[in-house]
Structures are given as C-alpha cells and as structure tokens.
C-alpha cells in the first residue's frame, strides 16, 4: 500500500522538479487528447511543440509572445509572494494599451520625435497603476476582497476599449471598421532583428525580470514581501505595515501590466487600437507565475514555455487541422498538473506493509 506522509520541511528539490513533472504530464495528456480527436499523436505533438521554433522567425515570435507574459507574471508574482491576489492583470494591460495608444491615436497622431514612445510607455504604466489602485484602496479601506474587484474591473476595461474603438476613437478613414488611427512611425516599437517581429520590448522585459530578481533577493523590500506572505502576524510584529504592502504590490503589478499593454499595441498589434488587444495574457500570466515558482528567472523560462503553447496551437491548427481551443486546454493541463504535483513538495509517497 502507498500513502502520503507529510515532510518535516518542504522539499527544495521537488520545488524545482515539479514544474518539469507538470510539463511532462501535460505533453503526455496532450498526446492522449490528440489521439482522442482523431489525429496521430506524434505528428501533432511535433507540430505543437517543435515545429514553431525550427526557424529564426519562429524563435523571434516565441520571444514576442513571451514579452507580455513576463511583464504581467512578474507583477503578479510579487503580489502572490506577499499574499495579495491581483487577478486583474488583463484589465490593467487593456487600460494601459488604451491610455498609451490613445496618446498616439488621438492626441499626437501627427507628431514625431523620440519622446513620443517613452511618453506612451509612461502613460500606459500610469494607467495600469491607477486601475490597480482601485482594488488596493477597497481592500485597505473597506476590507473588500481584491480577487473579485480586480477580476470584475477587467471586464470594465475590455468594454471601455470596445466602446472607444466602435465610437469616438474609430478611424474616420477606416471604412467603418472598429479600429483607431494608425500611430505615427515614432510611436511604434523598434524592431531589433531584421525579417522578424522581435522588438525592443523583449529586452525591456528581461531587464524588468533582472531588477525584480535583485529587489526580491537582495533588498529588505523583498524580505518584507516574503514575510508578509508567509507569516502575516510576524510581519506586523516586526513593524511591516500590511496596508503598505497591499498598495505597493498592486501598484507595481498594475504598472507592469499597463506597460505590457502599450508594448503590445505599439508592436505585435500593428500600431493601432483594436477591439481585442490580448488573447488573455493577463490571465495566462497567473499560470506563468506559478509555473516559474514566483521567481523572476523561473518566470522568464515559464513564459517561453507558455508562449510556445500559443505558437503551437496556431501551427497545429494550420498543419494538423486541430481546433484553436487546444491552446487553452494545454494551458489548463499545465496548471492542473502543476497543482497536483505540488503535493509532493510537502508530502512524500511511502510504501507501507499491509497489516
């Protein structure tokens, strides 16, 4: 017989191994799913996991897809480490795109200069920060659950974007399509690899990951966040103010999500506002944060893996005729198996004699 036996302390090796266990289990489950859909598993797995990254263009697309995931997931991970649950990164990303893109589409649409793109990035980060301040205020002032508030505000932001591009911000020369004017050339993200869509946002995301790693691992602020998440009563006893922690992590995560939104509209989206900016990066970033063990370096690696699921889903849809929903199913597999494998961090399987 086998039973779960609690460990005396969480297993560090298993904390490192469980993401790889979850990834392997997800690949196996994906093969079973492809078989159930009537497709040979090996060609389908190749099209999903290997085919998209066999060219330099595919590798560049992987980095493009990973950029918003890295930015959003790092912001969320900072909050999760402190026990603060921001689930509204998708809305903060959207509002950042609206405010940053609105500057180029409505205010400075005929302007030029190197100052324009940095101004848009700052505006997008500020918009995401202010949108995240709403659940922070309600949590600290009235004790309102931040999960529900941040999640519901996501749909407010999405509807606001839709109303603007269908109404006052619609391009008057766009044949009535729901989209804004194109941004001026100086308001688009510079490309860093010829022949691809790889833009300056990817190294910027890596820089944010490096700064987050240093702040969490080498400063008193990172220590405060960890203590606040692991032992809230000890944090209060040590003089760490929980309200300040809530404000800090919400503002940082909102600013990073808003920055990701501006990068999307000035890069992959094509330099204009459209009704759908993100395929759900803000929600998928939750999976990325946990798959990366809430560590900035792990988040970068996890973002590349999850970005591959987006590319693989598109490639498998084209080459193998698989439905587009396979991407979401694989991401669900990944989260499910990660949560299941996390049991092995605090428990071990032990074989016991049958009495």
Q: So what's the pLDDT on residue 111? A: 86
Q: So what's the pLDDT on residue 354? A: 65
SS3 344: helix
Beta bridge partners of 170: none
Q: For 156-189, b where at least 16 C-beta lie within 10 A, e where not — what string?
A: ebbeebeebbeeebbbeeeeeebbbbbbbebbbb
Q: What are the pLDDT digits (tens) for 154-191? A: 999 999 999 999 999 999 888 889 999 999 999 999 99
Largest CA distance in the chain: 82
Q: What are the pLDDT digits (tens) for 186-237? A: 999 999 998 899 999 999 999 999 999 999 999 998 999 888 888 888 888 8
Predicted TM-score (pTM) of this structure: 0.93
Q: Give me the helices (H) in the chain, please.
A: 12-36, 41-45, 56-81, 89-102, 116-142, 146-166, 201-218, 220-230, 232-237, 242-266, 281-291, 296-319, 326-341, 343-346
- 191 secondary structure, DSSP code: B
Q: What are the pLDDT digits (tens) for 275-329? A: 999 999 999 999 999 999 999 999 999 999 999 999 999 999 888 888 888 889 9
Answer yes or no: is pLDDT of 21 > 70. yes
Rounded Cα distance, 216 and 222, in Å: 4
Q: What is the domain partition of the chain in residue ranges?
A: 66-297
Residue 179 · residue 272 · CB < 8 Å: yes
């Amino acid at each position: 017989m086998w039973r779960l036996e609690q460990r005396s302390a969480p297993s560090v090796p298993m904390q490192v191994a469980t993401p790889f266990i979850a990834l392997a289990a997800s690949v196996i489950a994906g093969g079973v799913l492809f078989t159930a859909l009537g497709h040979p598993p090996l060609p389908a797995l190749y099209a999903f996991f290997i085919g998209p990254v066999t060219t330099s263009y595919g590798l560049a697309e992987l980095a493009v897809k990973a950029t918003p995931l890295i930015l959003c997931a790092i912001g969320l991970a900072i909050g999760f480490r402190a026990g603060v649950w921001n689930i509204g990164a998708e809305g903060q990303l959207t509002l950042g795109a609206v405010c940053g893109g609105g500057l180029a589409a409505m205010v400075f649409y005929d302007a030029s200069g190197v100052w324009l793109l940095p101004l848009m990035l700052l505006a997008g980060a500020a918009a995401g920060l202010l949108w995240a301040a709403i659940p922070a205020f309600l949590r600290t002032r009235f004790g309102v659950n931040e999960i529900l508030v941040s999640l519901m505000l996501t749909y407010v932001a999405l509807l606001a974007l839709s109303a603007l591009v269908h109404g006052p911000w619609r391009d008057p020369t766009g044949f009535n399509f729901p989209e804004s004017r194109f941004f001026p050339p100086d308001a688009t993200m510079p490309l860093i690899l010829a022949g691809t869509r790889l833009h300056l946002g990817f190294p910027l995301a890596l820089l944010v990951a490096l700064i987050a790693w240093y702040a969490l691992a080498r400063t008193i602020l990172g220590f405060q966040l960890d203590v606040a998440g692991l032992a809230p009563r000890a944090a209060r006893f040590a003089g760490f103010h929980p309200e300040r922690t809530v404000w800090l992590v919400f503002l940082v995560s909102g600013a990073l999500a808003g920055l990701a939104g501006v990068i999307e509209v000035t890069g992959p989206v094509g330099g204009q506002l459209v009704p759908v900016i993100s395929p759900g990066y803000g929600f998928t970033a939750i999976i990325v944060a946990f798959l990366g063990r809430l560590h900035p370096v792990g988040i970068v690696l996890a973002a590349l893996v999850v970005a591959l699921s987006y590319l693989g889903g598109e490639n498998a849809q084209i080459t193998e005729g698989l439905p587009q929903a396979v991407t979401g199913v694989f991401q669900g597999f990944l989260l499910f198996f990660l949560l299941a494998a996390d049991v092995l961090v605090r428990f071990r399987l032990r074989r016991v004699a049958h009495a």
